[in-house]
Structure 1
């Protein structure tokens, strides 16, 4: 099964370098490695001269918002052009465990799971020491995220809770990707596009399977909780999601924004809008500036 790894990136070159090293050290090397550069002309230089050889796909940024959905679709299209039969998506911050690709491939080869949406575990790493992370030490540094299933090494766990799907680390066969239809490109900036993809998979009758033994390790970077820097992205994308699926995603963040006066839910319409504490309201068509954080 010809396997591709697809990673969208904008900055985070050090994180991408460690991901590259993780792929090189794995028990199964990708046949295709596609990195989608979102307005990042220097990204190719960060990948040059390393194995596995990376194919860089350029994805222009419009309106100042990172087009993560479109970037993943472009990466998948290039991988399929290169003959990929299994698409493995990794966030730029994620370092693959030694057996991640081997395990995804092993599960996808079983007839029972060829049509599944396969999700491995992701552990969030503490800040690195002065010399950075060492690949061999990553498994001991953090536990899998407590908000997601964490099956044992050889365990496969089916789930009906598609809202738990995330795009940090997942895999689908080429046929399953076509059945789901890729990511909805109405989403721009931070939040919502991966939850939408989970719902598209549910609507297409694609089972969600959590895969033990396919770990990824999320490298540390500063974040805010709630992600105030992404307020306008989240409000805009939440409304897109609500229009498409009839319920509100990211409600913990929305209510946290409301508690800070940054957003409020209108009684008459149920819509979420900027609150009095958010500063000036945007004019029609205004978008937030480029943002380099993700995850």
Structure 2
């Protein structure tokens, strides 16, 4: 009697790759959205970047309850988002590889929409935006909502090169991934590893297209001056790494001219990471008591100077993801 032959697993059309750190609260929301997709021809690969919470246990229950084709990779210790992204892409079986951060809320046509953007086309990268959803607060009213609206409007108007927008909601085909290679492991600080990858796609001659219909809600946006400024500071430090790898692809950071530029420049020279930690917490306490115009200027001053300060103090910045 012949031995039974193992039936090979079918290759899904797409893989949704989810890097996650401390995601036990966010992951059920994301997987709930993925369970409502208008297609089932996809898998979900979640990479848990360090056993620091109950994410693995949460996913064990969600795999059954959602009916998703779910693959979970667990790093025993935190290795950073780059390592998580690379591990997820390496494990993925789909033809279209969709990056989806764990704090997004995808619409029902999220997966099919990304797949459709690659159908009947040559190699390309698909960039979709994530619109920050944040609770009402002095920070949101003064800066958070307006800055996000400005970014989205500028992106759709073509004022920002698409490679600079490669981020939490994007996709490429397996062939393009194999051609361009992994995310660079040289990035030790928050930010810029995505911009680096977008630029490498651009360098390789692979067109990047923006897909407005695939915009999603971003539930993990900064909700305070402190959080927004510390991200700017670390991203500024990462800009040094990008510069070392790609030269002047990005213009050198500058405070600009005039009184505002001199103020930004002066603060950036005086401010190190610990000073921004303290100063931004003080600003958050102050925001409810000043006019909105003043509040907006205070936050903008902190964000702009922090980005420049991070660039200037990169060697002193604590590695962080």
Query: When the two structures are superposed, what TM-score results if normalisation uses the length of structure 2?
Result: 0.66
- Over residues 112-167 of structure 1, what are the superposed CA-to-partner deviations in whole Å (9 max), with x where a residue is unaligned? xx411101232211329xxxxxxxxxxxx99x853146899xxxx99981453231
Deviation of residue 57 (structure 1)? 1.3
Counterpart check, 1:54 vs 2:70: yes
Whichever structure has more strand as a proportion of its residues is: 1
User: Counterpart of 1:274?
Assistant: 313
The whole-number CA distance in structure 2 between the counterparts of 1:166 and 1:202 is: 11
Q: Aligned residue for 1:98?
A: 108
Correspondence 1:81-160 to 2 at 5 A: 83-111=93-121, 114-127=122-135, 145-148=149-152
Which has the larger displacement, 24-33 or 92-101? 24-33
Unaligned segments of structure 2, at least 5 residues: 1-11, 137-144, 274-309
Q: Secondary structure at the match of 1:213?
A: helix
1:34 corresponds, among 45, 51, 54, to 45
Distance 1:118 1:259 in 2: 38
Paired residue for 2:55?
A: 43
Is the radius of gyration larger for structure 1 or structure 2? 2
The secondary structure found in structure 1 opposite 2:184 is coil
Q: How does 1:230-241 map to 2 (within 5 A)?
A: 230=231, 233-241=234-242
How far apart are residue 48 of structure 1 and its match? 2.0
| Runs (4+) off by over 3 Å | 59-62, 148-152, 157-160, 223-236, 248-258
Partners in 2 of 1:19 and 1:259 — Cα distance?
A: 39
Distance change (3 Å), C-alpha of 1:253 and 1:15? farther
For the aligned residues, what is the CA RMSD?
3.7
Aligned residue for 1:210? 210
* Deviation for aligned residue 1:195: 0.7
Flag structure 1 segments of 5+ consecutive residues without an equivalent.
Answer: 129-140, 265-270, 276-280
**Whole-angstrom distance in 1 between the partners of 2:176 and 2:134:** 35
Match of 2:35 in 1: 24
TM-score between the two structures when normalised by the length of structure 1 = 0.72
Match of residue 135 from structure 1: none
For the residues of structure 2 that align with 1:218 and 1:197, how far apart are their CA atoms? 21
Bigger relative contact order (CA 8 A; separation at least 6): 1
C-alpha distance in 1, partners of 2:155/2:312?
39
Cα displacement string for residues 34-59 of structure 1 (whole angstroms, at most 9, x for unaligned residues): 11111135211121232214222123
* 1:101 partner SS: helix
